[in-house]
Amino acid sequence: MTVKCSRGVTDSAVVVIVPGVVMLAIGLWGIDRGGMWRDEAVTFQVARRSLPQIWHLLHSVDAVHGLYYLAMHPVLAVHSGEVALRLPSLCAAAVTASLVAALGVRLARPRVGLWAGLLYAVTPMVGHFAQEGRSYAWVAAGVAASTVLLVRAAGAGRAVPRASDGARWCSYGGVTGVTVLLHEFAVLVLLAHALTLASARMPRRVWWAWGRVAGGVLLVLLPLALVSSGQAGQVAWLRAPGGEAVEGLLRSFTGSTPLVLGPYLLLIVLALVPRTRPARRGGLSLPAVALPLLLVPPATLLAVSRHWPLFDDRYVLYALAGAPLLAAAGAERVAGAAARLCGRRARWSHPYAVTGLGVCGVALAFVAQLPVLRADRDPARRPDNLAAVSAAAAERTGPGDPVLFLPALARRAAVAYPKGFRATADIALREPGPVSGTLYGRESGPGELRRRLDGLDRVWVIAEPYALRPGWYPPDPAEQVKIALLRAEFAPRAESVRKGSVIRLYVRRSAAAGSGARTGTGTGTGAVTRSPGSPGVPPRPARP
């Protein structure tokens, strides 16, 4: 008996560890993309500030990510590089894969846990956020750990409480509290856990313990919610989701290709087919845990976002863990039915053979989605590449050249990669971000900005593409001055376009009329265009 128990413990440990190792291997592939995009750049520049400067910033902007920035501060203090920025997210994703496997082991059997953990690890959406220097993989790990602790604390509805139950509930509350502080939308997991307890018909004492913990978590979250509500402009870009958002989330959670999506959904349906013998009162089944986790947070956020747009798929990444658990449970149903039909003495029905077949199925899903995973390693898949913007600026600008950012948040390329702008003069900046407690610094007022531009014959503009469209009219007076002066007194010459950014040289019209400058085609890797009918000014050669 002792040998069997020891062997079972060993098998379970291996089952939990293997998905984490696989996740690490997949995540390390291409983790150094050679450039950060805008959200990662925010983490990079904020986490490298001093602790008082981070605290100063959180009072005005981005409080929702405050705990994450504080946690990343010592990481980037050791090594401030892009790989170091992303490694904590990768480690969190690996932990999540192991926790998903642990849930499968506890709620079903080891091979279900192995299949679920591996399926989580090969999901492209998981791989994407495992290589992001943001908090979302951390939140997914926190929610998975919280769910494991809930299953342990509920104790499968034990009739007689144990002395350790209080410590387990405290652990559940502590992990859940930290998780919602990493991102406040993780609080929706409490609704999922409540539905789990309800579907298991838990006794009153379990509800009482859970209610006290949930109340404590809400109290912990309240100050952050109050502060972040005053910073709602951070998500003003979100729009009310439609049917395409639901379809996109479904494909992200289950399968990005039809070869994976169809079988994945079929296995989930099979897992939800009611058993002939209903679960006993107080017993937690795998569907009772996984289905609310999968559905409740996304459905709640989608419903709220119809009236108050807050939905983005990354905000509910943590709910994805329910999908591989259900698919693995469905695969177990298929294996059980096949064994009953063909007889348990069939060679293929040996437990290790069945486990191997399931692993092969996950491997096929990985191969089918390999093009998606490979494409995700390309920096062009992100909204922008600030390293490319900085390199283009270094190639075209010269020592002392004036640079104007339009709008001010376009300065993020210079903040993330200052080397490309080191020799230039930022003519609008009054106070840098760390001093002013802002992300991109505080700029001069309209009058001072006008005076500075009046003394220039040429200026390089680093702009967001929308800022150069004729219909854009910013609410900020300083931005209005930039637009008005550029349109009235300057003419565009050379232009370099990078995804998410435009670098354009403007020359004062009076100076351009008498210069007779020849047309230039530009150098470097970026495409350069010229305004029709006007002479062009070639970009400067790259400096050594």
Distances (CA, A) of 222 to 141, 184, 215, 283, 426: 22, 9, 11, 33, 40
Angle between helices 351-368 and 322-342 (to 10 degrees): 130
Bridge partners of residue 404, in order along the sequence = 461
Give, for all 544 residues of the chain, the pLDDT tens digit.
333 444 555 678 899 999 999 999 999 999 998 899 999 999 999 999 999 999 999 999 999 999 999 999 999 999 989 999 999 999 999 999 999 999 999 999 999 999 999 999 999 999 999 999 999 999 999 999 999 999 999 974 454 556 567 899 999 999 999 999 999 999 999 999 999 999 999 999 999 999 999 999 999 999 999 999 888 888 888 999 999 999 999 999 998 899 999 999 999 999 999 876 655 555 799 999 999 999 999 999 999 999 999 999 999 999 999 999 999 999 999 988 887 777 655 555 567 888 999 999 999 999 999 999 999 999 888 889 999 999 999 999 999 999 999 999 999 999 999 999 998 999 999 999 999 999 999 999 999 999 999 989 999 999 999 999 988 889 999 999 999 999 999 999 988 888 889 999 999 987 656 554 433 333 333 333 333 333 333 333 333 3
Question: Do 128 and 83 touch, CB atoms closer than 8 A?
Answer: no
Distances (CA, A) of 174 to 73, 178, 218: 22, 6, 12
| CB atoms closer than 10 angstroms to residue 456 | 19
**Backbone phi, psi, residue 479, to 5°:** -65, -35
pTM to 2 decimals? 0.90
**In the chain, where are the structural domains located?**
2-378, 386-529
